[in-house]
Amino acid sequence: MLLTVVIFLPLVAAGVLLAAPRLGGRAAIVLWVAASAVDLALVAWMWWRFDPGPSPAGVVGGPAYEVDLQWIPTVDAGYHIGVDGLSLPLLALTGVVFLACAVYSLRESHRPRSYAALFLFLQTASLGTFAALDLILFFVFFDLTIVGMYFVIAGWGHGNARRSALKFFLYTFVGSLALLVGFIGLFLGGEQRTFDMVALAADPPLANSPVAGGLVLVAIGLGLAVKTPLFPFHTWLPDAHTDAPAAGSAVLAGILLKLGTYGFVRIAMPILPDAWQRWAMVAVVAGVVSVLWGAFVALAQTDVKRMIAYTSVNHMGYVLLGLGAAGLVTPADDGARTIATVGAVYQMVSHGLLTGALFLLSGVLWSRGHTYTLDRWGGLARPAPVFAASLAVAAFGSLGLPGLSGFIAEFQVFTGALQAAPVATVLAVVGILVTAGLFLLALQRLLTGDTVVPLDEDGADRLSTRPEGGGTATATRPRTATVMRDLRGHELASIVPLLVLAVVLGLFPRVLLDVVEPAAAAVVQLVAR
């Protein structure tokens, strides 16, 4: 029952908000903070009591905190949830990022009750997806995240928010339909006629049908690739990120993108091991192309938020590189495959923390000057040293500096993938060099030189105003000024913990590795069988 409480506690809090109109203004956000804090405390208690062991896809012991109830008996679909070393870190990441976004939003003044309720709804949908051990249940929660994020972008975004929200919805919804087709293929291809992930992994469907298994994997892979997103299915991402509110971007990058990569390691690899081995090189190539494309396109951006969005394509490419290398039939031993898989999961957690912090920091820029354009800012290290230090830590972590979580993740991906796919791994290293260049260039343009802030002396926005009812934004040129408020208390309390966790995971990786390694090894054994 504890896992069910963790999943649905945010939804209950959202229901309380909607049912109590008097809980408006700051009280609504405070309730959101309280619900997220309690939920994270429950996940921490689960982590404390968790005994690392094989994946639910493995055999020994089964999943922890398991609940298995009948739901749709005619197709053997049930409310089957549980956690293992692959899902528990992502549940914890979800709790951390949503709590950070709640604290960051303490000063939200635009329909705060609906805003908080939507994010609480999104939290339940995300937690449910990571905990689901039934394909239909996974699909339901997966689709609900699309609905929730659509309304967040359309209702609280800026710029051309409605267009970006619609683009996000259409792309990801079409991808989810392909995912559903793949799930139906798994149901029809198995002798047990079930949607239960544990049963399907124990007796993989379509093992003797290479063509059918490949087609089902393509359908599932397409749906997950759109969500991840991988090149060339990433085109919805920059617009959605640029026009979303800061908290929405942090959740979208920090959590929702992981639903795609998690689907690969939870569904595609253990349930379709033969097909994954045959198509593993395609996954490796897609990962490397995403790494290089994301890095080079990010380097060309003049908008800091679009730049961060494209680095997400780059970082998710490393995840797929590691997972693809784990499926290659090469002389690489299971140890190397396990290292690559562990690195991929580590990268999911690291990216969630660091990119979540980067998007919240970009939201600070928007709140001060209503622009993300790099050329309109400069010399911010002098008036805002805490902001500058936080941005530097997040950027260095994202480019893989030793001592931060990004280094541990990328090091393991490259170590595990080098023996199985040496050429692809060497090409992917180029992505690190380009990422380092683009982050250093952004830091130089934002933090050094003369102080340039697109604000009046009284802090009034003079740069990007939007008339009531829409229309074209008006702007004035920025000028040299000394006005740049440093991080406020709620911004500091939301961003710094994410960076502290990235440092902890960079210096003490066993905290996460001890949980992930047994489950990753179990998945690798299932693929190798």
pLDDT for 346-384, tens place per residue?
A: 999 999 999 999 999 999 988 888 888 888 888 888 888
Please tell me the pTM assigned to this model. Answer: 0.90
The pLDDT value recorded for residue 23 is: 74
Backbone conformation region of residue 473, classed left if phi is above 0, alpha if psi is from -120 to 50, else beta: beta
Q: How many helices (H) and strands (E) does the chain have?
A: 20, 4
Q: Which domain holds residue 413?
A: 2-464+471-528
Give the pLDDT of residue 458. Answer: 39
Q: What span, in angstroms and rounded, lies between the C-alpha atoms of 300 and 302?
A: 7
Q: What is the largest CA-CA distance in the chain?
A: 71
The pair of three-digit structure tokens given for residue 61, joined into one six-digit string: 């012991």
Give the chain's end-to-end CA distance (angstroms, integer).
34
DSSP assignment of 19-49: H-TTS-THHHHHHHHHHHHHHHHHHHHHHHH
Q: How far is CA 18 from CA 128, 299, 420, in A?
A: 21, 43, 53
What gap in Å lies between CA 348 and CA 255, rounded to an integer?
9
ω into 232 cis (within 30 of 0): yes
Helices 236-243 & 135-156 angle (0-180, nearest 10): 50
**What's residue 90's pLDDT?**
96
Question: What's residue 53's pLDDT?
Answer: 60
Domain count for the chain: 1
Torsion of CA 76, 80, 83, 84, to 10 degrees: -20
The amino acid at residue 225 is A
CA distance linking residue 340 with residue 325, whole number of Å: 7
Please identify which residue in the block is written with the tokens 């997400």.
Answer: 312
In tens digits, the chain (529 residues) has pLDDT values of 899 999 999 999 999 998 887 777 788 899 999 999 999 999 999 999 988 765 444 433 468 888 889 888 888 889 999 999 899 999 999 999 999 999 999 888 888 899 999 999 999 999 999 999 999 999 999 999 999 999 999 989 888 889 999 999 999 999 999 999 999 999 998 788 889 999 898 888 887 888 888 999 999 999 999 988 898 888 898 889 888 999 999 999 999 999 999 999 999 999 999 999 999 999 999 999 999 999 999 998 888 999 999 999 999 999 999 999 988 866 557 788 889 999 999 999 999 999 999 999 999 988 888 888 888 888 888 888 999 999 999 999 998 899 999 999 999 999 988 888 899 999 999 989 999 999 999 999 888 877 777 754 334 444 333 333 444 344 444 444 446 788 888 999 999 999 999 999 999 999 999 999 999 988 888 887 6
Buried b (16+ CB within 10 A) or exposed e, 99-138: bbbbbbbbebeeebbbbbbbbbbbbbbbbbbbbbbbbbbb
- Cα separation of 514 and 518, whole Å? 7
Residues in the chain: 529
> Across the chain, what does the average pLDDT equal?
87
Sign (positive or negative) of CA dihedral 51, 55, 56, 61: negative
pLDDT value for 40? 96
Give me the pLDDT at residue 483, please.
66
Q: Which residues, including other chains, have CB under 8 Å from residue 232's CB and lie 6 or more apart?
A: none
Question: What whole-number distance in Å separates Cα of residue 333 and Cα of residue 524?
Answer: 10
Query: What does residue 479 show for φ and ψ, rounded to 5 degrees?
Result: -140, 165
Phi, psi (rounded to 5 degrees) for 453? -135, 125
Do the Cβ atoms of 106 and 490 come closer than 8 Å?
A: yes
Number of CB atoms found within 10 A of residue 19's CB: 9
